[in-house]
Amino acid sequence: MSLEHPDKIKICIILHAHLPFVCDSSRDLPLEEIWLYQNIAECYIPLVMMCNSLLKKNIQPSIALSLSPTLITMLQQDYYKYRFKQWCLQLCEFSDILKKHNRKAVKALHFYDAFITDRLHYIENTDVLDDLHYLADTNAVELLTTAATHPFMPLVRHVPYMMRLQIKLGIDTFYSRFGYKPDGFWLPELGYCYGMDSYLKDENIAYTIVNDKSILLSNAVPACGNFSPSMTKSGLMVLPRDSVLSMKIWSGQGYPGNPYYREFHRDALYELQELSPTPDNTLLGLKIYAVSGSDDKEYYNPDCIPEIVSKQVDDFIDAIYKRSEQVANITHKSPVFILPFDAELFGHWWFEGPLFLELLIEKITQLHGVELIMPSDLLGSECATVDLVESSWGKQADFSTWYNPLVRRNAAMLDEMIYEFLQYVNVKNEMLYQCAREILLAMSSDWLFMISTGSYTDYAGRRFSEHSDAARTLLTMLKNHESNETLIHERYKKYPIFPSIDRVLTRIEL
């Protein structure tokens, strides 16, 4: 190991921030766009604030954050701050209406008012990506990229061109925003299939994260198992997740389920639709209930939260020590615990998550036997070579969450489009570039996930069809040597993503 303290337990927290491209400037604040604003208010801004708060206490946050190209693009839209403010004001308006209607909810609503006002102040004065850029430049956090539109990559493993396009375009989008190429690449859904390491190595990616099963089901499990980085034969460092520790946070029975915490699943509007400030009763994301113990929900009381979070952090640190002892008995080495999570868990789904993270980081820095590291600290470590097994972080660690009877037609349609697209990749004109954008947007793993899990199925199906239909129309026109600039302009205006796709397409060989 090239690390400074080989005997210390190492904790590597990696957050993956991703939303599919949900902005639609042609509509008046649609529900899906509100998902973005909820995450900005509840997750992305709080994570930046958490880092700044730690730095003020002279504590390095030392977390890694993967930013998806679709999210980066949405956070660069000119109008997003305006729409974010519009959403904040609607929330405040709704909150005021509720205060008059229900006095018991006043405390929770006042808390929410202050929370939203704080975010408004932030967005008027600074920018999430600028702040993250600064944090990365000062080595307080490490940024990673991921595939362009976050597809479940094993579904296109038989089309090397598409694998390369997704990877190159992901890196290109990151480079365009931050001015350097990242060392790390997040595999969407931790979906690893054979040969993927070579594609990443070809793009000078130094490391990625895999699910523990990719290591643990291998025929020759490295001596340190999933408690140390390993190396593929192509020279890519892989950081295997520790599912057991992660589950203390991730699972239904994990920390976020505490009855005093804010309830994610119940919007205030569910019960009080007649008071909605929006004409179509859009769920604004005003959440004022606590998880409680039953369907009869209590109102959220923020006063008791810090103490609960602190106890959970102590419990987690205790779990780290116990597990470390367990591991060291087998491997005779201090473990590296890789803990990857969806960033949106911290703040959006689990409202108290950023506070948990801040206290955890703070307490870890006070411990002698434990240290926080970032993935690039592990580069240059001694690594065992491993033959990775195909895996994902979905159900049963296989591919079935994104490839099952409910979505098999979508996968087949994508295949057909991609193969037809490949016939025209040498055409290199605006028709082809827009066609590529549409196919890429249709490939998002989110649509397959939503259809498979029955969550916002209509929206996911509609988005998949919209991009597939547009791609097919463009393919037909390419076939007939036709052109339609109005169509290209309209489609790009609606989904303004990958402006420099031509630059990337010309660099990939069939």
Name the residue with tokens 């190991």.
Answer: 1
Residues 443, 497: contact at Cβ < 8 Å? no
Residue 63, H or E segment: strand 63-67
Q: Measured at the alpha carbon of residue 493, what is the angle toward residues 491 and 499, in degrees to the nearest 5?
A: 90
Instruction: Report the residue number, 61 or 154, with the smaller CB distance to other proteins.
Output: 154
Min. distance of Cβ 166 from other proteins in angstroms?
A: 16
Q: What residues line the site for other proteins (CB under 8 A)?
A: 154-155, 157-158, 193-194, 212-213, 216-221, 223, 225-227, 243-244, 323, 326-327, 330-331, 389-390, 396, 398-400, 403-405, 408-409, 411-412, 415, 419
CA distance 241 to 337: 7
- Could you tell me the smallest distance in angstroms from the CB atom of residue 399 to other proteins? 5
Nearer to other proteins, 387 or 482 (CB): 387
Nearer to other proteins, 30 or 254 (CB): 254
Comparing C-alpha atoms, which of 116, 147, 93 is closest to residue 46?
A: 116
CB of 20 to other proteins, least distance (A): 23
Q: Quick one: 219 or 366, whose CB is closer to other proteins?
A: 219
- In whole angstroms, the minimum distance from the beta carbon of 262 to other proteins comes to 30
Render 106-163 in DSSP notation, one character per residue. Answer: HHHHHHHHHHHHHHHHHHHH--HHHHHHHHHHTTSEEEEEE-TT-B-GGGGTT-HHHH
Q: How far apart are CA 49 and CA 122, in angstroms?
A: 9
Residue/partner pairs of 195-199 with CB below 8 Å, 24 or more apart: 195/157, 196/153, 196/154, 196/157, 196/163, 197/232, 197/233, 197/234, 197/236, 197/238, 197/388, 198/234, 198/236, 199/160, 199/163, 199/164, 199/167
Q: Nearer Cβ to other proteins, position 114 or 244?
A: 244
For 145, 199, 389, the CA distances from 195, given in Å and listed in that order, are 19, 7, 11
Shortest separation between residue 221's beta carbon and other proteins, angstroms = 4
Contact at 8 Å (CB) between 207 and 378? Answer: yes
Q: How far is the CB of 412 from other proteins (least distance, A)?
A: 7
Is the Cβ of residue 65 or residue 193 nearer to other proteins in the bound state?
193
Cβ neighbors of 217 (< 8 A, separation 6 or more) are 389, 391
Q: How far is the CB of 319 from other proteins (least distance, A)?
A: 13
Rounded to the nearest whole angstrom, what is the least distance from the CB of residue 396 to other proteins in the complex?
6
Q: Which lies closer to other proteins via its Cβ, residue 360 or residue 389?
A: 389
Token pair listed for 361: 């980081």
Name the minimum Å distance from CB 198 to other proteins: 14
Closer Cβ to other proteins, 45 or 407, answer by number: 407
Give the residue with the Cβ less far from other proteins, 152 or 350: 152
**Which run of H or E residues covers position 235?**
none
In the complex, least distance from residue 321 CB atom to other proteins, rounded to whole angstroms = 14
Determine the Cα angle at 490 with ends 488 and 495, to 5°. Answer: 95
- CA–CA distance, 402 with 102 (Å, rounded to integer): 43
Q: Which lies closer to other proteins via its Cβ, residue 292 or residue 400?
A: 400
Closer Cβ to other proteins, 472 or 494, answer by number: 472
Q: Among 268, 342, 248, 313, which residue's Cα sits nearest to residue 44?
A: 342
Rounded to an integer, what distance in angstroms lies between the CA atom of residue 477 and that of residue 484? 8
State the amino acid at position 186 in one-letter form: W
Q: How far is the CB of 405 from other proteins (least distance, A)?
A: 7
